[in-house]
Amino acid sequence: MNKNPFVRLIAGRLAGMALTLFAVLSFTFLLTFAVPNDPARAVLGPRATPEQIDSVRQRLGLDQPMHVQYGRYLARVAQGDLGFSYSQRRPVMDVLVERLPYTALLALGAITFQVVVGVALGLWSAARAGQGLDKLGLTASLLVIALPPFWVGLVLLYVFAYLWPIFPLGGASLPWGLVLPSISLGLAGAAWTSRVMRLEAYRFLQSDVVRGLRAKGLQPASILTKHTLRGATGPVLTMLTIDLGYFMGGAVLIESVYNWPGIGLASFLALKQNDIPLLMGCVIIGSIFVLVLNLVADIARTKVDPRVQLS
């Protein structure tokens, strides 16, 4: 048995992640049985005869009890087989591999917008703490956080793709087709990041470290952009890593609004078409990204701030 406490802790967290993934899969699989639509009819279409539907149900194993179907599904997943998509007539893994790069591009665009805008506004607000512009910025960030991302996406589409056709109305046309979805997905995160960055930067600016830097004659701009930025990034780094996991899991509403061909749109269409294997595959991939990047965020936080310990 490994006596390294860090290794034991990571092993425990990995076991917890496995249990969480199992619980998510079980709950999602159970919900699919609550949907009144018949997957066999979704495969064959509305004109299929009862005999054809019964034949497909037997071939897909849909005539078996739920626990039998779930046991077989878990056995296939353990071997890396996510099944066959009913709606797309091909393996689920092929669909996910095709769509994952688009979700990764959107996640990268959203997290870049969140970092650039959120960190810059947070530092700017911390340097003006208590002033009128600082208070206005805090109020504006709360309003932005309260806005539903899909509503923001619809407004941006209407203004910048319909009224003023600067950007495309939807789809995966690069690079301009990435701009509006990235802003819609990262806007609320940028507001949160600015608030967290402001709080941490303000605390750092009041510390003895900064007083010493000022006594050495360093310029305020240098203190703010170099030392404060480095000293206040711990919580912000954690937030960004967690948000990246959420974005990589597939932002269903944003991808649906912009018809962005990522995992989020695939899961939305799978739900509409009662494509259980594809829906479960999207859930698995999304959950893995969220769980893994949450763990990465915790580990990164301990490296940035030695005072923080994993628990």
Domain ranges of the chain: 5-90, 93-304
Neighbours of 143 (CB within 10 A): 9
Question: Based on the number of CB atoms within 10 Å of its own CB, is 236 exposed (0-12), middle (13-18) or buried (19 or more)?
Answer: buried
Nearest alpha carbon to residue 114 among 69, 72, 153, 145: 145
Give the span between the Cα atoms of 64 and 259, in whole angstroms: 36
Write the CATH number of the domain with boundaries 93-304: 1.10.3720.10
| CA 188 vs CA 151, 197, 302: distances in Å | 12, 14, 26
Q: At what angle do helices 66-78 and 5-32 cross, to 10 degrees?
A: 140
Reported pTM? 0.82
**Helix, strand or coil for residue 260?**
coil
Classified as helix, coil or strand, 108 is helix
CA neighbor of 167 nearest in space, from 283, 175, 241, 12: 175
Condensed to tens digits (0 to 9), the pLDDT of residues 229-249 reads 776 777 777 788 778 877 887
Q: How large is the angle between the packed helices 179-205 and 92-126, nearest 10 degrees?
A: 40
The strand pairing partners of 259, in sequence order, are: none
Q: What is the pLDDT of residue 64?
A: 78
Q: What pLDDT is attached to residue 84? A: 84
Please give the structure tokens belonging to residue 130: 């208590």
Report pLDDT digits (tens) over 85-142. Answer: 888 888 999 999 999 999 999 999 999 999 999 988 988 888 888 788 888 888 888 8
Residue ranges, the chain, pLDDT below 50: none
**Mean pLDDT score of the chain:** 82
Phi, psi angle pair for 147, to nearest 5°: -75, 130
* Spatial distance between the Cα atoms of 41 and 218, rounded to a whole number of angstroms: 72
* Number of other residues whose CB lies within 10 A of the CB of residue 19: 10
Q: Which residues face 90 on adjacent strands? A: 85
